[in-house]
């Protein structure tokens, strides 16, 4: 299978071995990442979902970054071996491309982490929103009823009161005016 490597110069062989080995390990890492098996084989992600501490975003020296470096180093060496006559220059360019792969990985992960969305339900966000009465709301803040209200695509059943002189029966639309002691105060629309 690797007979073509026998006739190559030792540096060219080295680039091929590094490229093939790094590619195999990278493929295994990628598959394990997508199936969620990060606890096997001692492979750990270099980041977490906690974006509140920005002083140390990633580890520079990690197994994953070593593989990214070797991937860029090996394949650039294989690719440019016949194009660049000077071997020290070829090694230098391969090292630069390997470091570029590590930087590219940092940028990619940083951009992915920025895609997070905060779907935390905050009752304060309901002021001004409309909903539908589920259980009759008694008049003059004399008791609590319930309304169904949709926030960020999810429906919530919440307690509500009204300052109105008359009760608001089921199935009527209401608007949230303010919040009193974690209870929505609504008005009929």
9 and 50 co-located in one domain: yes
Q: Is residue 13 part of a domain?
A: yes
In this prediction, residue 120 carries a pLDDT of: 82
Distance CA 176, CA 60 (A): 50
In this prediction, residue 37 carries a pLDDT of: 66
Q: Is residue 94 part of a domain?
A: yes
92 and 147 co-located in one domain: no
Q: Is residue 141 part of a domain?
A: yes
Q: Is residue 118 part of a domain?
A: no
Identify the helix (H) or strand (E) that includes residue 161.
Answer: strand 154-162
63 and 103 co-located in one domain: yes
Residues 64-77, mean pLDDT to the nearest whole number: 96
144 and 99 co-located in one domain: no
Of the residues 60, 88, 113, which one is the last residue of a structural domain?
113
70 and 144 co-located in one domain: no
In three-state secondary structure terms, 188 is: strand
In this structure, how many other beta carbons lie within 10 angstroms of the beta carbon of residue 94?
24
Which of the four pLDDT bands, split at 50, 70 and 90, describes residue 43?
Answer: very low
Distance CA 59, CA 107 (A): 13
pLDDT, tens only, 162-188:
999 999 999 999 999 999 999 999 999
Reference 19, options 97, 107, 109; nearest CA is: 97
Of the residues 85, 113, 141, which one is the last residue of a structural domain?
113
138 and 183 co-located in one domain: yes
66 and 154 co-located in one domain: no
For residues 39, 42, 45 and 50, what is the CA-based torsion angle, rounded to 10 degrees?
60
141 and 85 co-located in one domain: no
Residue 148 scores a pLDDT above 80: yes
Q: Which domain holds residue 143?
A: 123-188
Q: For residue 182, give the CATH number of its domain.
A: 2.40.50.140
Overall number of domains in the chain: 2
Residues 106-115, mean pLDDT to the nearest whole number: 87
In this prediction, residue 116 carries a pLDDT of: 80
Of the residues 70, 94, 113, which one is the last residue of a structural domain?
113
Distance CA 152, CA 155 (A): 8
């Amino acid at each position: 299978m690797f007979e073509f490597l026998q006739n190559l110069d030792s540096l060219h062989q080295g680039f091929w071995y590094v490229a093939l080995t790094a590619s195999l390990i990278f493929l295994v890492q990628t598959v394990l990442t997508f199936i969620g098996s990060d606890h096997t084989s001692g492979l750990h992600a270099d980041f977490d979902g906690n974006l509140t501490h920005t002083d140390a975003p990633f580890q520079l020296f990690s197994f994953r970054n070593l593989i990214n470096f070797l991937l860029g180093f090996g394949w650039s060496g294989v690719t440019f071996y016949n194009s660049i006559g000077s071997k020290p220059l070829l090694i230098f360019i391969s090292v630069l491309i390997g470091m570029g792969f590590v930087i590219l990985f940092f940028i990619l992960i940083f951009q992915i982490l920025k895609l997070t969305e905060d779907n935390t339900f905050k009752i304060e966000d309901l002021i001004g929103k409309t909903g539908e009465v589920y259980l009759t709301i008694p008049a003059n803040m004399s008791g609590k009823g319930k309304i169904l209200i949709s926030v960020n695509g999810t429906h919530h059943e919440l307690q509500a009161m009204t300052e109105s002189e008359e009760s608001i029966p089921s199935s009527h639309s209401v608007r949230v005016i303010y919040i009193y002691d974690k209870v929505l105060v609504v008005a009929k629309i």
